[in-house]
A and B are shown apart, each in its own frame.
Chain A
Amino acid sequence: MTFNIYDFTSFNQWIDKTLYDNLPSFWALIIEMTLIGVAFLLFYAVIGLFLVYAERKVCAFIQNRVGPNRVGPYGIFQTIADFIKLLMKEIIPINNADKFLFNLAPFIVIIASFMAIAAIPFGKGLHAIDFNIGIFYVMAVSSLGVVGILLAGWSSNNKYSLIGAMRSGAQIVSYELSVGLSMVTMVILAGSMQLSEIVEAQRNGWFIFTGHIPAFIAFVIFLIASTAETNRGPFDLAEAESELTAGFHTEYSGIKFAFFFLAEYMNMFIVASIAATIFWGGWMPLHIGGWVGFNHAMDFIPPFFWYMGKTLIVIFLMMWFKWTFPRLRIDQLLKLEWKYLLPINLFNIILMALVVLMGWHF
C-alpha cells in the first residue's frame, strides 16, 4: 500500500481491495459506506463550524472589532460552544404551525447541501462520486434547498417568515439561471461536465486565464449570482434583520435554527468550491510557463491544500461583499438579474462558443 498525498487513487483502491478480500462483499460494502459517511459528516461539521467562526472574525475585522476571543485561544472554540448551547436548547412548538412541514424543512435544506458535496473533487482521487454529469448534478441538488426555505417560511404561521420565504423563492430561482448559464459557459470550454475531467483540462492553465474575456465575465457573474443564490448579503432579503427580524427562520429555535445556519454556510462552501473547480483549476497547482523551479515548488504543495486555499479565497470574497455593500431592494435585485446578468450571460455564451470555435483560447 502506498499512501501518496498527491494522488489518492491508489489509496482508495487499497482500502477497497483490503475490505473486499477479507470480508464478505455485503459487509465490505457496509463498512466502506460507513467510512465514507463518517468522513464526510466530520468534514461537513468541521467546515460548517470553521466557516461560522471565520465569518464572525472577518466581519469583526472589517468593522474594526476583535470578534469572538473568549472561548479558547482567539476564540476558536466559540462556534463549538455555540453549537453545544443550541443543541441543549428547547425546541419551541409554534401555535397553529403546520407541524409536519415545519419539521420537514430543516431536513430538506441539510439533505440538499450534504448531497451536493458528494460530487466535489477535493483532490486527485479524493471525491465520493465522480459523475459524468457532475456539475449538472451539483447545480440540481443544491437548488433543492429553496424548497426547504419555502416550506420553512410557509409552515411557520408567521408573517415575517412568509414574506422572507417568498422573497427568497423569487430571488433564488432568478439567480439560479445565472449560476447555471455561467456554468454552461465553462462547460463549453472544458467540453465535459465531469468535474474531475474539468480539473484535468486545466493542467496547462486555469480556465480563468486560458478562457480569455468570456471566462472572466462568467466568473464575475457566477460570483454575484452565487452570492445571491446562497441568500447572503448584499442579497439577504430573505432574512433582512431590520425589516423581517430573521425572515424564513424567525420561528425556528435551538438546533433547528442551527441547521438553517449550517446549511447556509455549507451552500456558500459548495458554490465557492464549484467556482474554484471550474474557474481556478480545482486542485491544480499554479504553473507559469517557463518557470521550471517555481512550478516544481508549486507542485510540492499537496492538491488538497490548493483546493481548500482557492475555495477559502472565494469564500472570503463573498464575506467581504456581505460586510461591504448595503442590502438591495427586491425590485433592484430582480432588475439586476433579469435585465443585466441574464442578457450579458447569453451574449457571453455566444462569445465563448465563438472563442472555442475559432480556437482563440490558449
Chain B
Amino acid sequence: MSSESLILFFIVAVVLVGGALIFSSLVPAKSFNPAKSEPYECGIPTQGKTWLQFNVGYYLFAILFLVFDVETVFLFPWAVIMKTVGMAAFIEIMIFFLILGLGLLYAWKKHALIWE
C-alpha cells in the first residue's frame, strides 16, 4: 500500500463518525424542554459569559512547546543518520544542545516553567 491510501483512512473515519451522527440524529426519540439545552453549571442558570479572558500561563507554555517541538523535528533526521555519520554528527548535536540548553536555562531562570 502506498501512502496515497491515507485518504482511505481519512474517508473511513469520516464515514464512521458521520454515519453514526446521522443515525442518531434521525432514529432516537426526541423531546423538547427549554431547560434541557442549557449548558450545565451545577444545576443553576449559567452566570455571565463563558468565552472570557483566560490565564496567560497556558499561552506561555504553548510558545515554549513550539520552540521545543520544532527542535524535536530537527532531531529526527539527525537521529536516523547518527549511526552512519558518527563522530561529526555527535559533535554537531552537542553544539545544538548547548544552544538549546541555554534557551531552556533562560526560560527556567525567568520562571517561565512555573505555573503561577
Contacts and interface: CB of A to CB of B under 8 A. Distances in A.
Contact of B39 (A158, A353, A357): A158
Contacts of B80: 187, 191-193
Interface string A190-212: 01110000000000000000000
A136 interface: yes
B19 to A, nearest CB: 10
Given A177-B72, A187-B76, A250-B40, A131 B12 contact: no
Main SS of the interface on chain A? helix
B94 A106 contact: no
Given A89-B24, A115-B13, A184 B113 contact: no
Interface residues of B, number: 67
A107 B115 contact: no
A187 B61 contact: no
B100 A338 contact: no
A1 interface: no
Given A37-B8, A334-B115, A88 B79 contact: no
A174 B40 contact: no
Nearest to B61: A170
Given A95-B39, A160-B40, A335 B114 contact: yes
- B17, B21, B68, B86: most-surrounded residue (chain A CB, <10 A): B17
A157 B39 CA distance: 7
A5 interface: no
Contact of A342 (B24, B37, B54, B68): B68
Interface stretch (A56-64, A252-260, A309-317): A252-260
A30 to B, nearest CB: 10
Interface stretch (A72-80, A220-228, A343-351): A343-351
A350 B96 CA distance: 11
B8 A36 contact: yes
Contacts of A353: 82, 89-90, 93
Given A94-B37, A343-B104, A353-B90, A191 B9 contact: no
Interface string B58-93: 100110110011001001100111111011011001
Interface in A149-163: 154, 156-160, 162
A223 to B, nearest CB: 18
A330 B115 contact: yes
A68 interface: no
Given A181-B75, A191-B84, A255 B113 contact: no
Nearest to A163: B54
B49 to A, nearest CB: 10
Contacts of A192: 80
B11 to A, nearest CB: 8
B74 to A, nearest CB: 10
A124 to B, nearest CB: 15
A216 interface: no
A106 B17 contact: yes
Interface in B9-42: 9-14, 16-18, 20-21, 23-25, 27-31, 36-41
A162 B50 CA distance: 8
Contacts of B64: 338
Given A87-B20, A136-B76, A173 B65 contact: yes
A251 B39 contact: yes
Contact of B113 (A97, A128, A339): A339
Given A114-B16, A173-B62, 13 more contacts: A33-B8, A40-B9, A114-B13, A158-B39, A187-B76, A187-B80, A191-B81, A334-B61, A335-B115, A339-B108, A350-B93, A353-B82, A357-B82
The 5 closest A-B pairs by CB, nearest first: A331-B115, A114-B13, A187-B79, A173-B65, A180-B72
15 contacts: A90-B31, A91-B21, A94-B39, A157-B39, A170-B61, A173-B61, A176-B69, A181-B72, A181-B75, A185-B79, A187-B80, A191-B84, A255-B24, A346-B104, A353-B90
